[in-house]
Amino acid sequence: MSAFAGSLPPPASWIRNRDCRRTFSQKWLDVKMTEPLPLLIESSIEIAWDYLVRTGELDDAMVAGRFLSDTIELMVRRGERRRLMLANKAITAYQQFRRQHSVHPVLASA
């Protein structure tokens, strides 16, 4: 007769964990982010803003603030919840926006 027969449960090592084949990233993705959305948006904007200030890429503060806010809010509405991803994508979008608006049109001569 087994030492664990009767009412005692088997040791934890005997119980097969159903999640044993899942990778670390799969387990990490199951973690629920509990940060309220306004704080998520605010901290993402702050990260992007600080980066743009430090690199000297911030031109008009009103335009940049509105652009970053709109961009990050749109990504949050689409389901993105990772703060650094939000900030990095907003930075990239702002840099592209600046490049497009700093290029002067070339006038064709007749």
7-20 pLDDT tens trace: 655 555 555 555 55
Q: Global pTM?
A: 0.64
Residue 21 lies in a domain: no
Residue 20 lies in a domain: no
**Helix and strand counts by DSSP (H, E) for the chain:** 4, 0
Q: What is the pLDDT of residues 50-108, one digit of tens each?
A: 999 999 999 899 999 999 999 999 999 999 999 999 999 999 999 999 999 876 666 66
Enclosing domain of residue 61:
34-99
Q: What is the pLDDT of residues 20-46, one digit of tens each?
A: 555 555 555 555 557 899 999 999 999
Residue 13 lies in a domain: no
Residue 66 lies in a domain: yes
Predicted pLDDT at 101 = 84
> How many domains in the chain?
1
Range 20-29, long-range pairs (CB < 8 A, 24+ positions): none
